Amino acid sequence: MAGTLSDQFKTRLNLQTKTVGEERIKRAKERNEDVAILSMELPGEKKPFKCCREDCLLGDPTSLPLGTKKMEYKTRQWHEKCFCCCVCKVPIGTQSFIPREQEIYCAKCYEEKFATRCIKCNKVITSGGVTYKNEPWHRECFTCTHCTKSLAGERFTSRDEKPYCAECFGELFAKRCFACNKPITGIGGTKFISFEDRHWHNDCFFCASCRTSLVGRGFITDQDDIICPECAKQKLM
C-alpha cells in the first residue's frame, strides 16, 4: 500500500497522544479538545479509573499502580498498553489515530479498511480521482477501453457500460457519413442527416452538382447522388 495517506483522511489524522502535566490535562478537558492525553498516576493521587478495553491487558481494568501510564480520550480511559488499534492490536503510543464508532484505529489500518479504492486496480486513491457511474477511479486508470488513452478531463462516451474515447467510439461503433466515410459520433452536439439507410454530416450534405448545402432544404436522389431541385430541373431539360 502506498505510504501517502488519502487526502480525505489527512484532516482527521490530527489526533495524537501527548504526555502532559496536570494543568494541561485540566485545560484539555475544560475545552473538550480532540486529543488523547497520556499521563501517569502520581503518589497521593486517587482519581477514579477504569480501562474501557474489554480484555484489559493488565487483568484488572480498575487497577492503576503508581508509575503506570494511562491514556484518556474524551470520556474514556485506557492503560497505555491497552490503547491499541482495534485491527492490528499494535499500541498507539504517540502515533496518530482515528476514532470510529467507539473503536480506535491506527492511520494505516483505517485507510486499509475505509479508504476509497479504485474500481479498476483496487488500490487506494490517495489524491484526485475520477467518478464514473458512481464508482471511483484513479485518473490514470480511467482509460479508453480500446486504446487505453486517459479519459480524465476528455470527451468520451460509453457502450455496454464501458468508456471509449471519441475517436475509438467513432471508428468502432458510429454510423459513417455516405459522402466522406468518416464516423458520425454525435459527441459534442455533432449534427447529421439521415435518409433511408444513408447518413451524412451536416457539412457533407450538399448538392452533387452545384455543391450548395441541402440542410433544411428539399432534395432529389439521383442514384447515389443527392441534388437540389434546381439542378434536377436542369438535368431534365
C-alpha cell, 119: 474500481
Query: In this structure, are strands 17-19 and 36-40 parallel, antiparallel, or unpaired?
Result: parallel
Q: Name which of 218, 13, 174, 193 is nearest 229 in CA terms.
A: 218
* Amino acid residing at 156: F
pLDDT reading at 87 higher than 90? yes
pLDDT tens figures, 169-211: 888 887 888 888 888 876 555 678 888 878 888 888 999 889 9
| pLDDT at residue 51, as a whole number | 93
Contacts 24+ apart (CB under 8 A), 127-136: 127/4, 127/6, 127/7, 132/163, 133/161
pLDDT band at 141 (very low <50, low <70, confident <90, very high): very high
Mean pLDDT (the chain, rounded): 80
Looking at the chain, the domain(s) classified CATH 2.10.110.10 span 7-114, 129-172, 177-236
Q: Which fold has domain 177-236?
A: Cysteine Rich Protein (2.10.110)
CB 1 within 8 A of CB 111: yes
pTM: 0.47
Q: What is the pLDDT of residues 5-54, one digit of tens each?
A: 444 444 444 444 444 455 665 676 666 666 778 887 766 667 888 999 98
**Which CATH number applies to 7-114: 3.90.76.10, 3.60.130.10, 3.20.20.70, 2.10.110.10?**
2.10.110.10
pLDDT at 144 over 90: yes
